[in-house]
Amino acid sequence: MSLGTKYKALSIETLPERLKVVDVLASKVGEDSAAWQVQEVGDGNLNLVFIVTGPEGKAVVKQALPYVRLVGDSWPLPLYRAFYEYHALTRQAARDPGSVPDIFYFDEAQAVIVMEFLSPHVILRHKLIAGKRVDGLADFLGKFCARTAFRGSELSMKSGDKKADVGLFAGNVDIPAITEALVFTDPYFTAEMNHHTEGLDPVVAQLRSDVALKVKVQQAFQRFVSNTETMVHGDLHSGSIMSTESESRVIDPEFAQYGPMGFDIGMLCANFLMAYFSQPAHRGDDLDAYQEWILGVIEEVSTTFDAEFRRLWATERTGILYPASLFEDQGHDSSAACDAVLKGIWRDAWAFCGIEMHRRCLSLAHNADFEDIADPALRAPLEARNLMMGAELIHEAERLVDANTICAIARDFNGKDVL
Ligand code: SR1
Ligand code: MG
């Protein structure tokens, strides 16, 4: 069934009348749409997100807007991002079952996805700001990144299927273009929509005058736009993860594209590092222990990623890359080849990590970890540590293969007065 061919944004008032024809939604929340209660809860930068509550249960209705919500209709943005989000969710569900919300319905013309209401999950970023721990978080995220990276690549997929998927996602032009500008370009010059905390000018000037750094960033950018190794989530930050005390899911893959295997895990680690550096403004007595818990998550994400990637290498290497005919079938161990692939992934990941740490303090879309610190005099020195560590990661990415080293660098910057 279709909701009509002419797009119209939903509202709290119109949603029950317009979506009552969606049988699967009625089956989840109850047939009597007059009894539905609707809340709009979208707190991201782009979309409308409604929770529909009926006598039988709840569901989420997400709808793309034809512009960037954060900026307004002066920045148009294609509705087709919902199409890519839907297709990314189906692939993630297949590549890592149980990792994303169940999807009940998709309407392309209305850019509407109806999905599972996750409860009592909350956005992970809010938990990190509030000092909450999540059991099993690192294991879940390390496996999610390894499984989606491996199973979306020619290490696993049939070449024809992979090429067809790269072709499909190549149509997602305007959404990755946001990343190309806001993440890889704008932090390193005075772009129009940039803003940064007062007091950071000396650090910002230092970064923008560091030509070697800008070359490294452009090299990472080149890999991001031209290396279609696997389908990446494309925006894997702590606002794209929902958790209870012991269970997590990944949401919001509208930035999905085929890109480097190290992209998601690098962005993810950056967001844990920013949570780490922002903690002195959010915590009291538990500060040291909580910061160490965050670093422990980074280390375990990394070791879990490697272990799961190696397991898949040994058991699911069915694609054209590194075939058994060249290794095991000739009695040759392929573990050195796996080591080399992982080394390349982590080289990319640490560079992407440093770049994400920069953009969240320098370009348009900042994160609440730092933005919720009301006093700029408290925020600026914490952001400065984060910015300078980001620069070190970008400069040293090729030599940094181990998350233990990354955490040691973080501890070092955490004790420094950078400003
Ligand atoms: C204009 S969109 C800004 C940011 O929000 C999204 O979540 C992505 O992170 C994007 O860079
Ligand atoms: Mg998002």
Structure confidence by residue, pLDDT tens digits, 275-309: 999 999 999 999 999 999 999 999 999 999 999 99
Query: Whose atoms come closest to the Cα of 178: which ligand?
Result: 1
Pocket of ligand 1 (CB under 6 A): 44-46, 68, 70, 178-179, 182, 235, 365
CA dihedral 223, 229, 230, 233 (to 10 degrees): 0
CA atoms within a 13 Å half-sphere pointing along the CA-CB vector of 87: 21
Q: Which of 43, 45, 251 for mutating ligand 1's site (highest number of atoms within 8 Å of CB)? A: 45
Residue nearest to atom 8 of ligand 1 (CA): 235
Question: Which residues surround the ion ligand 2 when the cut-off is CB under 5 Å?
Answer: 44, 252
Q: Which of 43, 51, 45, 44 is nearest to 10 (CA)?
A: 51
Residue nearest to atom 4 of ligand 1 (CA): 365
216 within 8 A of 394, measured Cβ to Cβ: yes
Query: Whose atoms come closest to the Cα of 367: which ligand?
Result: 1
CB atoms within 10 A of CB 253: 26
Residue 288 Cα to ligand 1 middle (Å): 30
72: left (phi over 0), alpha (psi -120 to 50) or beta: left
pLDDT at position 53 is 98
pLDDT at position 240 is 97
State the distance between the two ends of the chain, measured CA to CA, in whole angstroms.
59
Residue nearest to atom 6 of ligand 1 (CA): 45
Residue nearest to atom 2 of ligand 1 (CA): 45
Q: Which of 272, 304, 299, 308 is nearest to 404 (CA)?
A: 299
Residue 345 Cα to ligand 2 middle (Å): 24
What own/partner pairs with CB < 8 Å and gap ≥ 24 does 329-334 have? Answer: none
Write the pLDDT tens digit of every residue in 332-368. 999 999 999 999 999 999 999 999 999 999 999 999 9
Using DSSP, state whether 308 is helix, strand or coil: helix
Q: Which of 179, 235, 236 for mutating ligand 1's site (highest number of atoms within 8 Å of CB)? A: 235
Sequence-distant (≥ 6) Cβ neighbours of residue 97 within 8 angstroms = none
Q: Which of 111, 152, 156 is nearest to 234 (CA)?
A: 152
pLDDT at position 401 is 73
Residue nearest to atom 9 of ligand 1 (CA): 235
* Lookup: tokens for 161: 């299927």
Residue 236 Cα to ligand 2 middle (Å): 8
Residue 29 Cα to ligand 2 middle (Å): 25
Sequence-distant (≥ 6) Cβ neighbours of residue 159 within 8 angstroms = 319, 320
Low-confidence ranges of the chain (pLDDT < 70): none
pLDDT at position 394 is 98
pTM for the whole thing? 0.97
256 within 8 A of 176, measured Cβ to Cβ: no
Atom of ligand 1 nearest to the CA of 70: 1
Atom of ligand 1 nearest to the CA of 77: 1
Phi then psi for 228, rounded to 5 degrees?
A: -95, 50
Residue 66 Cα to ligand 1 middle (Å): 15
Residue 85 Cα to ligand 1 middle (Å): 14
pLDDT at position 123 is 97
CB atoms within 10 A of CB 407: 21
Residue 290 Cα to ligand 1 middle (Å): 27
Residue nearest to atom 5 of ligand 1 (CA): 45
Sequence-distant (≥ 6) Cβ neighbours of residue 197 within 8 angstroms = 361, 370, 376, 379, 380, 383
HEC assignment per residue over 355-388: HHHHHHHHCCCCCHHHHCCCCHHHHHHHHHHHHH
Helix segments in 62-158, DSSP class H? 81-95, 124-130, 137-151
Atom of ligand 1 nearest to the CA of 364: 3
Task: Report how far residue 150's alpha carbon sits from residue 148's, in angstroms, rounded to the nearest whole number.
Answer: 6
10 within 8 A of 61, measured Cβ to Cβ: yes
pLDDT at position 44 is 83
Residue 253 Cα to ligand 2 middle (Å): 7
Task: Report how far residue 358's alpha carbon sits from residue 214's, in angstroms, rounded to the nearest whole number.
Answer: 12
Residue 251 Cα to ligand 2 middle (Å): 8
